[in-house]
Amino acid sequence: MDWGCLVKLSVHSCMSVCLEWWWYEIMVLLCGVLADPKAAVAAMGILIQTTSLVYIFPHSLSCAVSTRVGHELGAGRPERARLVARVGLVCGAVLGVVAFAFAASLRGVWARMFTTDVTIMQLASSALPILGAAELGNCPQTAGCGVLRGSARPAKAAMINVSAFYGVGMPAALALAFWPARLDFRGMWAGMLAAQLVCAALMLLAVQRTDWTEQAVRARELTGAVATVVAAAVDDCNVKSGHADESKVHVDSGLLVVTVLS
């Protein structure tokens, strides 16, 4: 009976991650129609590899936050779950600052590890600070996604990703890269920056508005803990009733013995 709920949660959790990464793949395709498509695709490959390297850290934090939030809610400790969520978001913000400093400080030399083509290096170097600025939103929003996943709300995380990346980021990237801004390669990454900032704001709002007491009750319902408690209470009542009946039998038997002896 629980397979349907489990599959639904799994699909929503998968979509919340896939929708973001598919956006990167769409950006690679759009690079093919920029002014210098070969250099743009190559530079995009370098930058996606870079953001994948950086993403490992907030993703690991997200998994830890998700597990800890789930444990605290399942144990009936909503205040501890709230604390875990706040600590996770703060750590995500710190990771974002570190990622931004990394991208900004290495903008002149990072692309040389991948290519010697001057045009590709120039494109990658021009977009690296924008990539770093996007990580200021990406890291805390990834931690926030872990909070929503840990409280069994991956559907909300998926909706936020759709709204931010496809409702805001995609139109912004197209407008800035092609028309009317015509910023070309940097315009596409500026669209990514807009998507990440909006996504982070929506994630923070969703976490801030969370009723943790309600989520703790919901966690017990989803895991069947309520039914277990009720069953245990019924069993306990049956055991106590059985003990009472047994005591009554012993008393009746004693009275019968006393009566016979008399």
Over residues 57-86, the pLDDT tens digits come to 999 999 999 999 999 999 999 999 999 999
Cβ atoms within 10 Å, residue 203: 27
Query: Rounded to an integer, what distance in angstroms lies between the CA atom of residue 15 and that of residue 161?
Result: 9
Residue 262 pLDDT class (50, 70, 90 cuts): very low
In the three-class reduction of DSSP (H, G, I as helix; E, B as strand; rest coil), residue 210 is classed as coil
Mean pLDDT check: name the lowest of 57-61, 65-69, 155-159, 251-255: 251-255
Mean pLDDT of the chain: 86
What is the pTM assigned to this prediction? 0.82
pLDDT at 101: 96
Distances (CA, A) of 52 to 3, 49, 55, 149, 172: 33, 5, 5, 21, 22
- Which segment, 88-92, 179-183, 220-224, is predicted with the most confidence on average? 88-92
Question: Please, which residues have CB within 8 angstroms of residue 176's CB and are 6 or more apart in sequence?
Answer: 183, 186, 187, 188, 190, 191
Question: Please, which residues have CB within 8 angstroms of residue 53's CB and are 6 or more apart in sequence?
Answer: none
Max alpha carbon distance in the chain (Å)? 115
Alpha carbon of residue 129 to chain centroid: 25
Q: Judge contact between 176 and 193, C-beta under 8 A.
A: no
Mean pLDDT check: name the lowest of 54-58, 88-92, 249-253, 255-259: 255-259
- Taking 50 as the threshold, does the pLDDT of residue 239 lie above it? no
Query: Rounded to an integer, what distance in angstroms lies between the CA atom of residue 182 and that of residue 178?
Result: 5
CA angle, 234 as apex, 230 and 237 as ends, to 5°? 140
Distances (CA, A) of 120 to 40, 123, 185, 215: 7, 5, 11, 49
152: region left, alpha or beta (phi > 0 left; psi from -120 to 50 alpha): left
Residue 128 pLDDT class (50, 70, 90 cuts): very high
Closest of 205, 202, 178, 203 to residue 191, by C-alpha: 178
73: region left, alpha or beta (phi > 0 left; psi from -120 to 50 alpha): alpha
